[in-house]
Structure 1
Amino acid sequence: MLLQKVLSGSTHGAPIELLVRGACQLDDEVLNQAPDQLALAIYNISFNTQTTRKPPKQGAERRRRPEVRSVVGGVSAVVFAISAASAQTTAPTTAPVEDFRPSSLNQPGQQYPQVNSQGYARFRIVAPDAKAVKVSLGLGGRGGTVLTKAPDGSWIGTSEGPLDEGFHYYHLTVDGGTFNDPGTLNFYGSTRWESGIEIPAHDADFYALKDVPHGNVQQVLFASPSTGSQRRAFVYTPPGYDATKATRYPVLYLQHGWGEDETAWSNQGHANLILDNLIAAGRAKPFLIVMTYGMTNDIRPGAPRGLASFDINPFRTVLVDELMPYIDSHFRTLPDARHRAMAGLSMGGFETKLIAPKNLDKFAYIGLLSGGTFSLEDINSTPAFKDKVKLVFVSFGSRELDRGGSNLPPGAPSSDPRANAAALKAAGINSVFYVSPETAHEFLTWRRSLYEMAPLLFR
C-alpha cells in the first residue's frame, strides 16, 4: 500500500497531496480539519490502536522509558510532521521528588513551570475566575495535566509521569479557550506560537551554551519572484567568518518540520550551538547553515483545501532558483554540489528527499532526520546518484522504530529503514544510519541527529 511506500522510501517524488491522501485515504473534508482533529482522523484511519503504556522497570534510569505516543506525535511521521515534537510521558511508579526548579525556558523572574530531577513538570497559573484549567502537552494539544485550584486563586498541577528529556511544546486550555503560559517563552510550532518547556537531558552538553568561539545567526530577506513576495531566511555563519575575509565556506540548507518555521532549528534545535561546539572541538568543518520557511503560502488545515494544496515544486523553485543564488551572491560560499548539503527534520526531511535527488548538480550531501529513507529502488531510478552523492544520512528516534509487540506503534516506519541503509552501503553508497536512544519524534532526536551528521559533511 502507499502508506508503506511513504514510510519506507519508495515514493519517487510524488506530490505530498497524493501521498497524504493516498496513504490514509483522506478526502477534502478530513484534510481541511484543524491540526488536532486532522491528526486524530489520520491516526484512526491508519492505525486504529494506541500503544499500551507500560511502567518502567524498577530502578531503571529515567530516560529508559517504553513507547508512549500522543496522537499528534504518532502520526507526524506518516504525514511528514502534521506537527513536530510531542511530549512523551511515563506512568509513575513513585511520587515525584520535591526538587523542582524553574525551567530554563522561563521568562525572566518567573518561577513556573518547573521541572525536577526525574523529569516531572509542575505548572502554576493565576486565573482566579476560571472554572477549569488544563495544560496540554505536545503539538496539537493531546494529553495533558489537569490543574487544581488553590485558595489564592492560582491553579497548580504536576504531570502524571516524567517527560522525555529535551524540548516540548505545550499550551493552556482555560474554560475551553487556548492560551499560552505567560511564565515561559514562546516557540513557533503546530502552525502557531506555543509555550515551551525543557526537560534537562543527560547529554545536553553537546548543545549547551559554552565559553567557545561563537558564530552568528542573522536574518536575511530575499526576493521571490515566483511567489511575488519578500521571503525570510536565517543564516548561521561559523566563528571566524567575519575575521577571515578570504575564506569561502560550504553550506547546509536545513529544513524544519510541519507546523514550524525558519526559527525552529536555531530556537528549538540549537543548531548554531551544536555547530559552535563541534567546530571548537575540531570535530566538524566550519560551514554555513541556511534555514528558510518550507512552504510557499499560508497553507493551514482548516483553510480551503488545507494540506491537499501543498505541492513541493513551488518550494523547490524558491529554494533552488531564488534563495541559493541569493546566498551565493551575499555570502562567501563554495557554490558547487561538493560543498552543498540539504537536510531536514520530519516534513523537512521529506522535502529534502523530493528536492535533492532531482538536483544532484546542486547537492552532494543528503540528510533525512525522521523524514523517511532511501531505498535501492529510489537510488536506481535516479541517474548519477551513486556517482554524485557523497553521503546519505538517515536517522530516527528509537521509539519511532520500536515495533512494540504485534502492533506497529503510531509513526513507526512500516519497513525497517536499517535494511534500506544497509542495502545502500552494500551498493557502494556512503550510507550512515543513526538511532537516537530513548527518543521519539521530537527535538532531542533531531539535535542528536545534527550532532552526528555535521562531522560527516564536506569531508
Structure 2
Amino acid sequence: MNYKSLVIIVLSIATIEVSIAQVNATVVDDFKISATTQEGKQYPQVNSQGMLRVQITAPEAKSVKLDIGGKKYDLVKDSKGVWTGESAPQDEGFHYYQLNIDGADVPDPGSMYYYGASRWGSGIEVPAKDQDFYALKNVAHGQVREHIYFSKINNTMRRCFVYTPPGYDGSNKRYPVLYLQHGGGENETGWSSQGHANLIMDNLIAEGKATPFIIVMDNGTWTRPVQSAAVTQEQREKGEWPPKGWADQFSKTLIGEIIPMIDATYRTVAKQSHRAMAGLSMGGMQTRVITLANPDIFAYVGMFSGGSINADDIKNAPQFKEKTKLLFVSYGSHELDNRREGFGGDPKANTESLQKEGLKTHFYISPSTAHEWQSWRRSLNEFAPLIFK
C-alpha cells in the first residue's frame, strides 16, 4: 500500500467518525418509554424528536438492525451482548417496526404486538401534538365487543368488533351504524387497537361534537389472484389494479350477512339514512366500490387514503349522487406531496368537482403525515362529527 492510499483511507475513516459524531450530537437524549412498550419493559423508547430507540440482548448475534419506515438502522453491541440503536425521526403517531437479527425479521420482545403488514409485530407510538383527541380520559366510555359468528357465504367462522357508545346499555334508544374498514395487511383489530376509534368517539361524544353511533369493524381481507402477485406500478397507474371483482366477496358478506346480523342483534336504526361506510387505504377502496354499487344501503361515505370518486363514477351510478348525504375524502399531506399521476386523477380536484355538481363533499388533509395511522385517526375525528346529523 502506498502513502497516498494510506492517507485516503485515514481521511475516509476520519470523515466517517466525524459524520457519526455529528449524527450523535443531533440526538436529544430525552428518551422515554413508549405507550406501546410492554408493562415492566424499558424499551422501546421514543424521544422528543420522534426517534425510536430499541435494545435487545443477543450475545451470539453478528448483526442486529432496526427496521422502520422502509429503512434499516444498525444497532451497536456492547461487551455484554446488548444491542442498542435509534432510528431517524418519525412522523407523529403510530408506526409498525421490527428487528432483523442475522437476516431474520422478528418482533421486538419489548413491544406490544399489533396486526399489520400481514403479521403480528411491533409498534411504536410517537407522541403527537394533537394526541388529546384520542387520549384515554375520565369521560363516559362505550364498549368494544367481540362478536363471533358463522358465515354461510364464506363457510367459516368469522368475527367483528362492535363499538357501542356510552349509554347503550340500560336504554332502549336505537343508533345509526358506521361500518369501518381496515387497510391492506391489517384485520378487524386495527381500528380499535392502532386507531383508537373507540376513544376518539368517546371524546367526541363527551364534548358534544358527534352524534352517538355504533361502529362495526370486520375483516375485509381478500386474496390476490396468483397471476396478479407481481403487479407493477405501471399497472396500478393504468387502473389495472386491483383486479376486477376484487371486493365482491366482502361486499356479499357485508350486505348479505354482516348488516342483517348487526340490525338483528343490536339496537340500530335499520335505514339507509342511518347507515355509513368508511375505511382506510384498502378499506377506503372497498368503501368506494361497495357504496357506488349500493347507494340504497349507505347514506354517508368516507374514504381515508383510499382513492376518490370522480364524475365518471357518478355517471355510472346515478343514484349515488341523489342518495348520498356526504362524501368525505382525506389524505395525509405527505401522500399528496408524493402522489403520482394516475389512480383516478387528483382526489382533491375530483371531490371539489362533485361538490360543484351538487353532491355534498368534504376534503380533509392531515398535516405532516403520510400513509399512516395518524392520518386515519385524524380522518375519523373529522368525519364522525359530520355524519348522522
TM over 0.5: yes
Which runs of structure 2 are paired with 1:36-435 in the superposition (5 Å)?
95-138=26-69, 142-159=70-87, 161-244=88-171, 246-295=172-221, 299=223, 306=229, 311-403=246-338, 409=339, 415-435=345-365
Q: Residue 276 of structure 2 aligns to a residue in which SS?
A: strand
- Structure 1 residue 442: deviation in Å? 0.3
Whichever residue aligns with residue 445 of structure 1, its letter is S
- Structure 1 residue 300: deviation in Å? 6.7
Q: Residue 71 of structure 2 aligns to a residue in which SS?
A: coil
5+ long unaligned stretches in structure 1:
1-90, 404-408
Whichever residue aligns with residue 260 of structure 1, its letter is E
Normalised by the size of structure 1, how large is the TM-score?
0.75
Q: Residue 353 of structure 2 aligns to a residue in which SS?
A: helix
Whichever residue aligns with residue 350 of structure 2, its letter is N
* Larger radius of gyration between Structure 1 and Structure 2: 2
Whether the 8 Å CA contact 1:92–1:162 is kept in 2: the answer is: no
Match of 1:442 among 362, 365, 372: 372
Change (3 A) 1:413 1:312: closer
Q: Residue 178 of structure 1 aligns to a residue in which SS?
A: strand
- Structure 1 residue 117: deviation in Å? 1.0
Instruction: Decide which structure has greater strand share.
Output: 2
Whether the 8 Å CA contact 1:401–1:413 is kept in 2: the answer is: no
Q: 1: distance between equivalents of 2:221 and 2:341?
A: 22
- Structure 1 residue 383: deviation in Å? 2.1
Q: 2: distance between equivalents of 1:238 and 1:329?
A: 18
Whether the 8 Å CA contact 1:336–1:361 is kept in 2: the answer is: no
Q: Residue 374 of structure 1 aligns to a residue in which SS?
A: coil
Normalised by the size of structure 2, how large is the TM-score?
0.88
Q: Residue 254 of structure 1 aligns to a residue in which SS?
A: strand
Q: Residue 356 of structure 1 aligns to a residue in which SS?
A: helix
Q: 2: distance between equivalents of 1:343 and 1:134?
A: 36
Q: 2: distance between equivalents of 1:422 and 1:180?
A: 43
Residue in structure 2 matched with residue 27 of structure 1 by the alignment? none
Q: Residue 59 of structure 2 aligns to a residue in which SS?
A: coil
Q: 2: distance between equivalents of 1:222 and 1:106?
A: 32
- Structure 1 residue 313: deviation in Å? 1.0
Q: 1: distance between equivalents of 2:191 and 2:329?
A: 18
Q: Residue 150 of structure 2 aligns to a residue in which SS?
A: strand
Q: 2: distance between equivalents of 1:275 and 1:321?
A: 27
Q: 2: distance between equivalents of 1:264 and 1:398?
A: 22
Of structures 1 and 2, the one scoring higher in RCO (CA 8 A, sep 6+) is: 1
Whether the 8 Å CA contact 1:257–1:348 is kept in 2: the answer is: yes
Whether the 8 Å CA contact 2:184–2:221 is kept in 1: the answer is: no
Identity of aligned residues (%): 52
RMSD between aligned residues: 2.0
Q: 1: distance between equivalents of 2:303 and 2:323?
A: 17
Q: 2: distance between equivalents of 1:192 and 1:380?
A: 40
Q: 2: distance between equivalents of 1:274 and 1:437?
A: 18
Residue in structure 1 matched with residue 382 of structure 2 by the alignment? 452
Q: Residue 327 of structure 1 aligns to a residue in which SS?
A: helix
- Structure 1 residue 247: deviation in Å? 0.3
Change (3 A) 1:172 1:321: same
- Structure 1 residue 394: deviation in Å? 0.1
